[in-house]
Amino acid sequence: MKIVKEAKSFEQINTELLIVGVQKNCDHIKGWNKLVSFFGESLEEWIRSGDIDTDRKKMTKLPYVGSNKQVKRVLFVGLGDTKTLTENVLRETFGLVGKQLRNIKANEFTIWLESFTASPIDENDVAFLFAEGAGQGFYQIPHYKTTSNEIDTYLDAVYFVTEADIDEIVASYKVGKIYADAVNEARNLVNLPPNLLTATDLANYAEELAKQYDFEVEILNKAELEELGMGGILSVNKGSKEEPRLITLKYQATDNWAEVMGLVGKGVTYDTGGYSIKTKTGMVGMKGDMGGAAAVLGAMKIIGEVRPNKNVVAVIGATDNMISGEAFKPDDVITTYSGKTVEVLNTDAEGRLVLADAVSYARQQGANYLIDVATLTGGVITALGFDKTGSLTNNEAFFDAFIEASIETGEFVWGMPLTEKDKKRIRKSDIADLNNSPGSDGHMIFAGGFVGEFVGDLPWIHLDIAGTSDAASPHDLGPKGGTGVMVRTLATFIERLGEESNSSF
């Protein structure tokens, strides 16, 4: 997309679509009289009569009736009362605009930035939020239909009507687009059929990412995992013909490899449940069980683009969980990379075994802080629904800083308790150090708490995105399917830490 670095007036624009924000009292908009003169006196009458809807998230598309023959249509975007307008609401509103742009097959458009400002949201904020929100809303799930005659729609150019500094506007828009593009790439990974995204395919994607952004990359194959004694990921992989991979990406921002943030993603590319087999309906959709890996890779894409002043190591355990004569079984005892032994009570509690080895490896690679991301349990959905990410932590200061980033991005995260009684149940086994399934009660806490057994004393956050990684129906920021959840929050958190002189917890 061409982001045109030229601030235009209404009289100068040549566009197929002009995008304008309208509110309950448009007279408060800076430069409103200029729009009235440009569009025509009928504009204000149409707003008063309701022909142009000013209610929040309402869209009104009209042909342009003024004297400038270079403008075809105007899309009026309702903002409601801007006294209560937030960045998150504006981002969602722009997501709906992105859907409109796809529906009308627009190739280029012009946005009047001042019409969307509201204290404290300025023109630069609008540019960022529009690129981020509309970019996500414009997204469409790739399909494999052979009978489709639909022409692919691309946005070729964006122009701005604004009195703000155009260099700052373009810079803000570019960063917003970086965020949207990374979310959409994560969505693509989650939406890929499992026969088209194996552990090897995921590793190949990571290698391309490393090549693009000059990350250090290491891909461990099955033989190398066996040599290291990674019994967690290897046990889950035993039933499969597809080899596992342990993927490591390193972004070094400072001279010394210190104060390193570790991002760990669950990359189970398909989960049958193993011998603790899922139901036929429960198995559908398990192509998305690598949503945590997608979130980490999406965050690394943003990190590669914006280059924050923070060292990051990303580790992803990638495998599928299949059934065969060689698959692991309930009652097995396995030895993880850390040396801790685990009694397997449930082969469908496989993600925590993969994460155990990945977290241990991230520590070995120098991580000083850890965040693991996983579509780990149905229990988090039972507890919190489909719109909230569940979390655990061992460090409240670390968690509070992360929550500030999640509030900024509008990705809701809710902390759950992890008590000593919970830990005792995770450690309860007559024959091993741990068991992988203490019970269905408190399921989300036990799963995340199991991962916590491998982090040592490092500040740690566990994110269970089982409910938020996939949308059952279209939403403001995209279609049904993979959401790319936590990509933006992880990247925003790391950007924030990079701006701080002291981020120790």
Active centre residues (catalytic): 278, 352
3-state secondary structure at position 124: helix
Establish whether the linkage from the previous residue to 120 is cis, with ω within 30° of 0: yes
d(CA 168, CA 319): 44
d(CA 64, CA 69): 8
Give the burial class of 8: count Cβ atoms within 10 A of its Cβ; 0-12 exposed, 13-18 middle, 19 or more buried. middle
Give the burial class of 59: count Cβ atoms within 10 A of its Cβ; 0-12 exposed, 13-18 middle, 19 or more buried. middle
Beta 481-482 vs 470-471: how paired, if at all? antiparallel
Q: Pick from 465, 417, 416: which is nearest to 264 by CA?
A: 465
Task: Yes or no: say if 400 and 406 are a contact pair by the CB < 8 Å rule.
Answer: no
CB count in 10 Å sphere of residue 502: 6
Q: Facing residues of 356 across strands?
A: none
Q: Facing residues of 121 across strands?
A: 118
CB count in 10 Å sphere of residue 498: 20
Residues 6 or more apart from 376 whose CB is under 8 A from it? Answer: 266, 292, 351, 352, 355, 444, 447, 448, 464, 466
Residue with tokens 């992989």: 237
d(CA 79, CA 182): 27
